[in-house]
Structure 1
Amino acid sequence: MQKIADAYAMRIRGATWDEIARAVGYANPQNAMRAVRRYVGTLPRPEMGELRSMWRDRLEYLWPLATRDVEAGKPGAVRAAVAVAQRAAQLDGLDAPTRFEVTPTEEQYEALVTEVLRARGVEELTEYDILAIEADVVDADVVDE
């Protein structure tokens, strides 16, 4: 079990399966991957929850290193620590939601307009139909007073 735990810890830190196999003592990378997969679950394609857990573990590994470097006064350490803290806050949902704007392509926009108009009973689409949907059209004459 210790061999598998070591392999998993190395994978969390970003080691390749080849590096893991050599360091921990597996005959080949496939054996290392199989052992970790049996221990952890589905690999190499983890599900979203597993990915979050893996990145959480990676950030937990990095945080003490970053704070140690800050205390030692290493150049760039504060910037690195801030980056780790920001990523952890984003991962855990501590930051305010990020706003995304999606601009549809012209084809997507036309398809959406067509769908909305058809839902309102307009079958043949013309420029007039689009304007008629947005406002009532009144047939009137202009009279001078």
Structure 2
Amino acid sequence: MQRVADAWALRVRGSTWDEIAAAVGYANGPNALRAVRNYVGRLPEPSMPELRSLWRERLEFLWPVAVRDAESGKPGAMRAAVAVAQRAAQLDGLDQPQRVEVNASAAEIAQLVNLLSRSQGGATEADVFELDVIDAEVIDG
């Protein structure tokens, strides 16, 4: 049972079935695969925390390689480094939009509208709130 658990843990970490067989003592890769399938009935699905941890480790491995290659001027290395950095940021949730709540009174909003309008040489508050509205319908011809 422990050998099967170790085999699956290695598979989740990215090892091939042949590598797993050599590491945990199966004759070959297909035997290791069969042992895991026979024990659990099918290949188990790794949990989300396991997958996040796995990909975090993989990205941590790739980052120094990408930086080294970029510093040496290897073609395509900068693009690869950016791809690794973007994926790490996505995985860690750094690219999620930030929620900002603004609590302002109507008077404060009107004051900001006037200030912004005047700074842009544009309309005053009266102009903004007294625009003519045209009711129209789009007709496809």
What's the TM-score once normalised by structure 2's chain length? 0.47
What is the TM-score when the length of structure 1 is the normalising length? 0.46
